[in-house]
Amino acid sequence: MRIIATITFLGVLCTATYPFGNTARSACISNNLLFNESFLQQTDTAKKSVDTGVVGIASPKKSIEKKLQSKGNKLDPKKLSVFPALSLQQYLKGESAGLYVQEPSGEPGTVQHMFIHGTSQPLLSARELFATQPLVVLDGVPLVGEHPFAFDIQQFKYDRIGPATNTLANINMANIKSIEVLKDLSSTAIYGPKGANGVILITTNAPGTKRKITFDSYVGLAQPNSVTTINGKFENDFRRQFYNKYTANGNYSENDVYPLYLSDSLNNAFYGPSNWNDKYYNSEVVYGVNASISGGTDRANFRFSLGTLRSGGVADDTGADRYDTRFIINMKPVSWFTVSAMVNANQIMRQRNRNVRDRLSQVNYIPDLSSPIAPNKDYYSGYLSEFNKGFDKNKTNIIEGYVKLGVNLGKFNFISTLGLDYNEGTRDIFFARTLLQSTNYASNYYGYNQRATIDNVATYDYDLNEDHKFNFSVGSIIQYDKYRYSYAYAYKGSNDFIKLNLLESDPNNGNYLQPTVFRRELVYKFLDKTRNNQVSFYGKADYTYKEKYSFSAILRGDASSNQQPTNRWFYAPVFSAGWDIKKELLADNSSVSSLNLRASAGRMGRYENFDNYAQGPQYTAFIGFTGNLISPGYNGFAVLNRPYTAGSVGYDLKWAYTDQASLGINGSFLNDRINASIDAYFKEDKNMLLGVPSGAEYGYTSIIKNGMAIRNTGVDLAISANILPAEKLFSWNSSINLNFNQNKLTALPGGLDQLIIGDRLLKIGEAVDRYWVLTNEGIYNTDSEVPVNSGGYRLSYNGIGLKAGDPRWKDLNGDGAITNEDRTLTGHALPQVSGGFNNDFSYKKWTLGLNFYFNLGRELVNQEMANRFDFVNREGQNNINSVREITFWEKRGDYSKYLLYNPWSSVAPYQANQDIFVEDASFLKLRTLSLTYDLTEFFKKKAANVQKFQVYGSVHNVFTLTKYTGQDPELVSYTGYDTGYGMQIPRTFTLGVKMDF
């Protein structure tokens, strides 16, 4: 459940004049509309019958911030709504310069990620991923995300425990009026530290004074892409190449046991038809239905909407269903006082995948993995039937709401918002013992994320004369964030038929602490919560001179409970300026409609999302017999131990912050037929926390220190052109947006030049998203080809002498040994250039739309192929890395690219961290092809109240052009390693209708 409530504006940035009845009043509000626009807009006189007007404070005219912002950051929800998306991230992909969206899986409802102007941290874990996401603001309420702190108790960190559903899947595009992507400090400063990664501002449709009914619906079919299946013969032939080359009698050694499932060519389960895909891949119906009604008077009005959506996955019977409703009401009891309230309720039900890896990582129990699932659909159906003996239920409830009060006394205005954003999730699981080799399993998760805000702002307009105009604003924000979960799992229930009251105790049996089905010693329970309170005060001054020059300055102070007591407060200034070149120099030039130059510079604190750094040194209980982070004990007595794996937290940790500067110009030409915007930016995130390896004498793995800095520089470009005007019989509108971004590590704690963390190397002067790999130059065919160093020893890899069949890795430093010193940084996990290219062609009532999306300068590590060739080290090992899914029997990648190394070699010749597995993953996708026919005039003849009637057909994910040999260059997580777990993004065909009455 998510409830939105907000009391305040973070900044009032403009001067506006609006009518109310016959009285003109002036109001100054934030250009970023922390208030819902339905509350901010003011009705025109009733006799004008303008349906866009509502009760509330006036919508501003072009304000200072509008002059200081890029023109290429506002998106059209009407066009976005044609795409049958479930999440906000899917809608925004490729739609705004500087915004990059990752969709690691086509499984409906899964989490996707967004980055504005690159990443501010090296993406080492889910913690850094969470800390780099932009702030999403819905009708003035900053939304809360799902906190990753539950990963701390997980042994395998593939998916967060609980529903792991995308909480931004609750955004119904049918209710959205506008979306803006705010990127520089001139527009994000009023949101404070939570907006340091950029802001996505969403404004919903407003009520009106005239009755209006809307209805839109679509139905479609999601189809899987064709795949090539393989069976035991293919796999046997593939492996026999290595046996024939490196063995004399078919066995590499006495300990080398050929897998049983490949040993018998008469075994029909593995050598028979490989038709498992008939059960795994299926076409699925998708649909969406939305309706709304609005109306009222200039004193009170409302809008009520209902919607439902089905997003069907094309693999593993996955899918997601959303149900949503929204109600907003505005009232103006007296001319100077306005009240607005909104409630938005959503529920998302998600049918999750049945991957073996995800199931075992949830269960924390590894059974015998010596044989994979058979590729024959009859055997695969038997495996799937075992899931029907249990259940996996996922539900997410989201409630959003606010109450807003506005006082308008002419030049003085006051706005207050109270809001709450709340989402909760539950997941109940039962796996029968036949899925886990005689051990059944049950778990229950309940958790919520909550953000409450109290936001107040007062503004005053002061016009010295016609040339000099000022606006002053002061405000305060109090924000409360709370995240909580309770989780329990158990093994070995009494039988597979009792599935109720699995983990809860029976309050009527006198022994309330004793579970009724599972033995107490096999039940593990977890309860955790984390909170953060934030207080902010700010003052802002805006000045315009002759409406040609604009200046703005804001100073804010922010305090967070997640900062240490000695450094609670952070003070940040931001300055911005604009110059209207059109008015100044080109007033008489008819070919230039507008031309503005803008610049901004300033500093903003970076919000710390984790409370474990706030109190200095601490102790954490994390040892246990199961490998999970459970409460430790010694002979039944609770004990404490240091948080060795989390690192030592010292005193005097300070705020991280971001320094940003931008310079941009935007203009309109030829009577607004051409609009262009270009922005150059500099963003350096400084003083960030990082664990530096140290403190080993005390048992720690690292010490947390300030001092890491990352710089992102780049250019945003947006151009739209009305190539053939609408008044022509045939018209053509085209637009392109792109971002070029480079990041660089500029500092490490303690003045270090480089730091190794896992398989990553962080090095000053290099990008933080690069891969650290060995350079492969071929193969040693004989022992004599291996170089001998000056000491008479053969070239070695980490002390192991290389020999025939081993890779010819490059000895970069010439020391006669292949070590980490010979690894180089290469490639980029994030694209260097990303963007979109849109075209709309119209002929009479027909409109053809094409939407392209592209990433350039991005590489991926094809770990799926590395795993395929590294079969010796993965065969029969009972660990999570040896899992083979049913998609093991799908041919992916180009096998001919790789040499036949000796897979039994101790040097691990097919390790993923070498350049032969790093591939160019640039791509161009035709995301959407749509055709719309406008029937409005036809139906207006039948009913005068028809305002819009359109029908359309569309195809999505039409084709992809790429050199990448893996499944899909999009289906990769933030690490850049393609493990093959990303489910297909389907090709979807839809038919839809949009109506307004």
Say whether both 655 and 804 belong to one domain: no
Domain that holds residue 815: 776-821
pLDDT mean over 774-788 = 95
Q: Which two tokens stand for residue 11?
A: 């900044």
Domain final residue, candidates 821, 840, 858: 821
For residue 53, the model assigns a pLDDT of 32
- Give the pLDDT band (50/70/90) at residue 240: very high
For residue 929, the model assigns a pLDDT of 97
**Cα distance between residue 54 and residue 23, in whole Å:** 16
Say whether both 767 and 786 belong to one domain: no
- Give the pLDDT band (50/70/90) at residue 258: confident
For residue 52, the model assigns a pLDDT of 31
For residue 876, the model assigns a pLDDT of 66
Q: What is the pLDDT of residues 827-837, one digit of tens each?
A: 999 999 999 99
Say whether both 756 and 710 belong to one domain: yes
pLDDT mean over 243-254 = 77
Q: Which two tokens stand for residue 583?
A: 């008015």
**Cα distance between residue 808 and residue 671, in whole Å:** 63
Taking the CA atoms of residue 607, residue 612, residue 615 and residue 617 in that order, the dihedral angle to the nearest 10 degrees is -140
Q: Which residue has the higher pLDDT, 347 or 521?
A: 347
pLDDT mean over 207-235 = 95
Say if 807 falls within a structural domain: yes
Say if 943 falls within a structural domain: no
**Cα distance between residue 735 and residue 906, in whole Å:** 54
Say whether both 323 and 458 belong to one domain: yes
Instruction: State pTM to two decimals.
Output: 0.90
Say if 141 falls within a structural domain: yes
Domain final residue, candidates 711, 740, 772: 772
- pLDDT of 946 strictly over 80: yes
For residue 878, the model assigns a pLDDT of 80
**Cα distance between residue 59 and residue 37, in whole Å:** 7
**Closest to 917 (Cα-Cα) out of 932, 904, 901, 931:** 901
Q: Is 52 helix (H, G, I), strand (E, B) or coil?
A: coil
State the total domains in the chain.
2
The rounded percent of the chain whose pLDDT value lies above 90 is 74
Say whether both 695 and 786 belong to one domain: no
Say whether both 489 and 408 belong to one domain: yes
Say if 275 falls within a structural domain: no
Say if 82 falls within a structural domain: yes
For residue 945, the model assigns a pLDDT of 87
The mean pLDDT of the chain is: 87
CA 654 to chain centre: 27
Q: What is the pLDDT of residues 560-587, one digit of tens each?
A: 999 999 999 999 999 999 999 999 999 9
Q: What is the pLDDT of residues 950-985, one digit of tens each?
A: 999 999 999 999 999 999 999 998 999 999 999 999
Cα R_g (the chain), whole angstroms: 30
pLDDT mean over 241-261 = 79
Least confident of 194-198, 241-245, 249-253, 639-643: 639-643
For residue 251, the model assigns a pLDDT of 67
pLDDT mean over 122-140 = 94
Ordered DSSP codes for 544-601:
EETTTEEEEEEEEEEEETTS-GGG-EEEEEEEEEEEEHHHHH-TT-TTEEEEEEEEEE
Q: Is 823 helix (H, G, I), strand (E, B) or coil?
A: coil
Say whether both 405 and 295 belong to one domain: yes
**Cα distance between residue 376 and residue 397, in whole Å:** 39
Say whether both 755 and 780 belong to one domain: no
pLDDT mean over 249-277 = 84
Say whether both 658 and 716 belong to one domain: yes
Residue type, 351: Q
Ordered DSSP codes for 628-664:
S----EETTEE-----TTT-EE-S----EEEEEEEEE
For residue 70, the model assigns a pLDDT of 53
- pLDDT of 594 strictly over 60: yes
For residue 500, the model assigns a pLDDT of 56
Q: What is the pLDDT of residues 685-729, one digit of tens each?
A: 999 999 998 867 776 778 899 999 999 999 999 999 999 987 778
Q: What is the pLDDT of residues 890-937, one digit of tens each?
A: 999 999 999 999 999 999 999 999 999 999 999 999 999 999 999 999
- pLDDT of 328 strictly over 50: yes
Judge contact between 202 and 177, C-beta under 8 A.
no
Say if 875 falls within a structural domain: no
- pLDDT of 518 strictly over 80: no
Q: What is the pLDDT of residues 469-507, one digit of tens each?
A: 999 999 999 999 999 999 999 998 888 876 655 555 455
For residue 437, the model assigns a pLDDT of 84
Say if 902 falls within a structural domain: no
Say whether both 391 and 417 belong to one domain: yes
Say whether both 318 and 174 belong to one domain: yes
- pLDDT of 174 strictly over 70: yes
Domain final residue, candidates 803, 821, 839: 821
Say if 756 falls within a structural domain: yes
**503: domain CATH number?**
2.40.170
Q: What is the pLDDT of residues 374-404, one digit of tens each?
A: 999 999 999 999 999 999 999 999 999 999 9
Say whether both 669 and 807 belong to one domain: no
